[in-house]
Amino acid sequence: MPDAPARDGADPRFAALPGRPGKVVAVHVGYASRADQRGRRPAHPSYFLKPSSSVAPSGGTVERPAGTELLAFEGEIALVVGTTAHRVRADRAWEHVAWVTAANDLGVYDLRAADRGSNLRSKGRDGFTPLGPALLDARTVDPGGLRLRTWVNGELRQDDTTRGLLFPLAAVVADLSQHLTLEPGDVVLTGTPAGASVLVPGDVVEVEVDAPDVLGSPTTGRLVTTVVQGEHPFDATLGALPTVDDMQRADAWGSRAAAGLAPEPERFHLTDDLRDRLARAPVAGLCAQLRKRGLDAVTVDGVAPLHPGARMVGTARTLRLVPGREDLFARHGGGYNAQKRAFDTLGEGEVLVIEARGETGAGTLGDVLALRARERGAAGVVTDGAVRDREAVAAVGLPVFATAAHPAVVGRRHVPWDVDVAVACGGTTVEPGDVVVGDADGVVVIPPGLVGEVVDAALAQEEEDAWVAEQVAAGHAVEGLFPMGPAWRARYEAWRAGR
């Protein structure tokens, strides 16, 4: 084992390490099993920093902060840097790692919204990075043959090896070294596999890293942490407060089922053929067919496309904005709020429909969010509010239907409140999964169960109207032709049969 510097005996938090680390760097998503569980695989590793004050030894306790419910564990392999690494090659990077140990990258999902990406409040608290209890000599183990296991109250919850990593350990070290200098004693947390979930006070979580393929199966031993309930509430006058929704609960627990939530309703799927037919059907024609079936309140009134020739077909995702109120915006509007979550989770072929109550005194999206929607493959955005950065949004090329333009940000008039709920947009109700079609005439909403028959009828009517227009252009009077009487109907059917 490499010679370790004298340990900081005055501070028991760093008892498992050579000393206090200068920095703790963590990988957001490191394992294929975790990425697949969340439905998204990153092409490259991304990182965040944890303060060294969050480090804790084995055998200690960790507080679930007062007023929170989603304290989650993440068993991880931690690398301890032995020699300075700056712009090192991947094939030499492991030489700069001195030790391997077990880690628990604890975090509170209730505090993620305000610091999305940085994770400062959610993962930087005292005691949120237990490490140890023993160090494995990195020279004696294969970085591709390490095993990670996590138990909660004696039940095995995580069991994976470094063969399941998206990014090899040495590649992570090399990548980090091209952006910042890794110094002796620094710690790198390498991501967690599937199985991470929520802890409650009284739970005991144990993490172990070993090398089962090495003679003697060297191990770190079990890193043990007990959860206790915090007693000190957050001061509402100082900053963002804990906030949770069902999306956060599902993320923290690992699934909606594990969180005790009802499964997501089955969403209607537009086939390529149906999408193509809808793209050829004019909104006016679709409206006419819906009216024949007793549905008149199906148009999103007052909106127009930023590009007059834009056409849009997709299934609805929804975002609800409530009237602006300063205290509510402080709790719901900052950071990674419902507006950003909606754009960040749009799927291919989906249309985001935004309820803005017809309020045009602030933008409901700008060019950055429009670009995000386009890159996600979204089919468009509909808002009965305003667009900010109108020219830049138009330049993105995404079909956007709005009522106005306004330079102010969303918080001037709105609080982003909820996603994937029924919303009121432009005088009509839109449910997630409804089919949304837009063209120069406006936007129509079609219940999924009627889409097939409505679009077929609209296309048939379009063909008929085109034939009628030809007759009028040829000099025929509209009487008896528009609408068709029996004689013209017979001539039209004969024309169709003879094509």
126 annotated as a binding-site residue: no
Check the annotation: does 388 bind a ligand. Answer: yes
Q: Is position 389 annotated in a ligand binding site?
A: yes
d(CA 480, CA 482): 6
Residue 296 in marked binding region:
no
38 is in an annotated binding site: no
Residue 314 labelled as part of a binding site: no
Rounded alpha-carbon distances, angstroms, from residue 490 to 458, 473, 480, 487, 495: 20, 19, 12, 5, 9
Q: What are the beta bridge partners of residue 256?
A: none
Annotated binding-site members: 366-369, 388-389
**Annotated binding residues for substrate, as ranges?**
366-369, 388
Q: Which residues are annotated as part of the binding site for Mg(2+)?
A: 389
